Amino acid sequence: MNAYTALMAAASVGVKMPLDQPGDALDDCVKAVNRNPGQLDAFVNLGVVYAALNRITDTVASYGRALDIGPADWEGNYNYGVLLMTSGKQDNARHHLIVACEARVSDACKPASYLGSAR
């Protein structure tokens, strides 16, 4: 049920936000984190919705909880880094953006390393 709940919250964000229904997306994301408080993706999605609603304190808390669960998660670090950058906190933002880039590069290189290909 954990993966299903996170998937449903992600689908809600993906569908309801472009339809200008952030309140409905927020409800779905809050349900997801309440059902599965250890689900990283649910907190990232919640942060996205809070950011769209300009609820910055809640956005920071959601991304912070996501990074507590998965400190090397690329999406949580990227989103938090962008939030910090737009808030004028470039030094802290830099760290999170570097972690995000390193995680994505690592993920992108995994298939090649499994095949034994040269990079």
What pLDDT score does 91 carry? Answer: 82
Residue partners of 67: CB distance under 8 A and separation at least 6: 73, 76, 77, 80
2-115 placed in CATH 1.25.40.10: yes
Residue ranges covered by each domain of the chain: 2-115
**Other C-beta atoms within 10 Å of 95: how many?**
13
C-beta contacts of 8-16 below 8 A and 24+ residues apart: 8/32, 9/33, 9/41, 9/42, 9/45, 9/46, 10/41, 10/45, 12/45, 13/45, 13/48, 13/49
pLDDT at 35: 86
pLDDT value at position 70?
93
* Tens digit of each residue's pLDDT (9 = 90 or more) over 92-113: 888 898 898 888 776 544 544 4
From 88, 64, 2, select the one nearest 79 (Cα to Cα). 64
Which regions in the chain score pLDDT beneath 50? 1-7, 11, 15-16, 18-19, 108-109, 111-119
Widest distance between CA atoms in the chain: 48
pLDDT given for residue 24 in this prediction: 73
Task: Report the C-alpha gap between 43 and 34 in whole angstroms.
Answer: 10
What would the two tokens of residue 11 be?
């689908």
